[in-house]
């Protein structure tokens, strides 16, 4: 395969200043990319034709196209995005809070949104509960391909550049397995003349690569971290997440303790609850003990079944009992409401379904 052409979104504003002359054009281009969501050079009305022709030979504008999307009744939109090499991955638009309007018709609370982005095509971790793992690992996403997910979804939802939203690196792939491109994307998102999404609005979710948690911490990017824990003993965690054999629970807990966080914030621990695997009160008791010395928040997540999985969704009553035990014993704990349950909710499910549909059409 020939080398992929880089995108303008692969570069920070400073880097573009070194690549594009005169430098004042960079500010204009940045505005077109991140304020107007330009998808082609033709969109950039005040950029000279000669410069656009020169740039088009070297750089793409937006490296992604929307191949397919599904919208849930709760406002969640799941996107299948196609890359320039024909590979696909997913991103999700999540409505976290509704817009509220008073009796006079004035908006007193804007709707709040989060975008869940992918960092890889596929994944190396191989979690047994994850549909993404079935397809194996294909490649890392570039910084620009990570950034373009947010630009593409904001444009598609007519979300103005100066309206705030949150980013979670919780889609396809293990973010810390693509640390260099992840870190650069975080920096590009933070650019004041771009999307201006600060570190406090960005959360990196990791399955627990303890050594790379340390490396991310050393970069001091100001982001939050979330740990996909899912089990309270190494035996079960190694079944669910095979790489736990190299990065066991203790090594993850120690890395989290070293991670620089805002003292006002808590470290999020994601706990995917699977019926008859980790939904009992004995597991809840062990979780309390495990997180004793950490300012933690536990987010309980219903397992979303998909065709072919052996795992089952827990009952709401067991979820509530688990939550109540944690709260009673001093842990802040929430139950994440399942988003997009009426569409391809599980990560990787839209990609899998679309590819299967295409294969069936080809064999007709």
The residues annotated as belonging to the active site are: 90, 347
Q: Which residues contact 253 (CB under 8 A, 6 or more apart)?
A: 290, 291, 294
Helices (runs of H) and strands (runs of E) counted in the chain: 11, 14
Q: Residue 81 annotated as binding?
A: no
Q: Measure the CA–CA gap between 228 and 134, rounded to whole angstroms.
A: 19
- Token pair 């928040």 is found at 297
Q: Which residues contact 196 (CB under 8 A, 6 or more apart)?
A: 162, 190
Pairing mode, strands 202-206 and 224-228: parallel
Q: Residue 229 annotated as binding?
A: yes
Q: Residue 116 annotated as binding?
A: no
- What are the residues facing 225 on neighbouring strands? 204
- Token pair 């989290």 is found at 256
Q: Residue 228 annotated as binding?
A: yes
Q: How far is CA 91 from CA 50, 99, 156, in A?
A: 35, 23, 12
Q: Residue 86 annotated as binding?
A: no
CA 280-285-287 angle, 5° bins: 95
- Do 298 and 333 meet the contact criterion of CB atoms below 8 Å apart? yes
Which two structure tokens, joined as six digits, stand for 211?
């050594």
Spatial CA neighbour of 146 closest among 177, 112, 169 = 169
Q: Residue 181 annotated as binding?
A: no
- Do 314 and 273 meet the contact criterion of CB atoms below 8 Å apart? yes
Q: Measure the CA–CA gap between 79 and 158, rounded to whole angstroms.
A: 15
Spatial CA neighbour of 226 closest among 166, 316, 283 = 166
Q: Residue 130 annotated as binding?
A: yes
Q: Which residues contact 49 (CB under 8 A, 6 or more apart)?
A: none
**What secondary structure does DSSP assign to 109-130, as a single string?**
E--EEEEEE-SEEE-SS--TT-
Q: Residue 210 annotated as binding?
A: no
As annotated, the binding site includes 123, 127, 130, 173-174, 205, 228-230, 304
As annotated, the binding site for S-adenosyl-L-methionine includes 173-174, 205, 228-230, 304
As annotated, the binding site for [4Fe-4S] cluster includes 123, 127, 130
């Amino acid at each position: 395969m020939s080398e992929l052409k880089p995108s303008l979104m692969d570069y920070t504003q400073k880097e573009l200043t070194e690549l594009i002359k005169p430098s004042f054009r960079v500010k204009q281009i940045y505005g077109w990319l991140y304020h107007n969501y330009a998808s082609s050079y033709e969109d950039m009305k005040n950029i000279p034709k000669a410069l656009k022709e020169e740039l088009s030979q070297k750089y793409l504008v937006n490296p992604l196209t929307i191949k397919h999307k599904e919208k849930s009744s709760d406002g969640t939109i799941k996107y299948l995005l196609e890359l320039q090499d024909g590979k696909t991955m997913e991103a999700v638009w999540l409505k976290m809070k509704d817009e509220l309007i008073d009796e006079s018709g004035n908006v007193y609370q804007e709707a709040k949104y989060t975008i869940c982005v992918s960092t890889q095509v596929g994944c190396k971790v191989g979690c047994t509960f994850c549909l993404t793992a079935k397809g194996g690992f294909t490649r890392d996403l570039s910084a620009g391909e990570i950034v373009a997910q947010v630009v593409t979804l904001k444009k598609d939802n007519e979300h103005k550049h100066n309206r705030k939203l949150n980013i979670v690196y919780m889609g396809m792939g293990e973010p810390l397995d693509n640390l260099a491109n992840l870190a650069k994307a975080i920096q590009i998102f933070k650019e004041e003349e771009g999307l201006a999404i600060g570190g406090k609005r960005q959360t990196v979710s990791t399955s627990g690569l303890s050594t790379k948690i340390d490396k991310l911490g050393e970069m001091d990017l100001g982001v939050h971290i979330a740990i996909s824990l899912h089990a309270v003993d190494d035996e079960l965690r190694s079944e669910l997440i095979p790489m736990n054999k190299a990065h066991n629970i203790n090594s993850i807990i120690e890395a989290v303790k070293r991670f620089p966080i805002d003292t006002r914030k808590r470290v999020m621990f994601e706990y995917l609850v699977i019926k008859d695997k980790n939904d009992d009160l004995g597991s809840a008791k062990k979780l309390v003990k495990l997180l004793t010395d950490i300012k933690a928040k536990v987010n309980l997540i219903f397992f979303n079944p998909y065709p072919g999985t052996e795992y089952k969704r827990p009952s709401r009553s067991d979820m509530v009992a688990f939550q109540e035990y944690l709260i009673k014993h001093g842990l802040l704990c929430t139950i994440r409401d399942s988003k997009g349950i009426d569409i391809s909710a599980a990560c990787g499910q839209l990609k899998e379904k679309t590819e299967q549909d295409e294969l069936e059409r080809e064999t007709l």
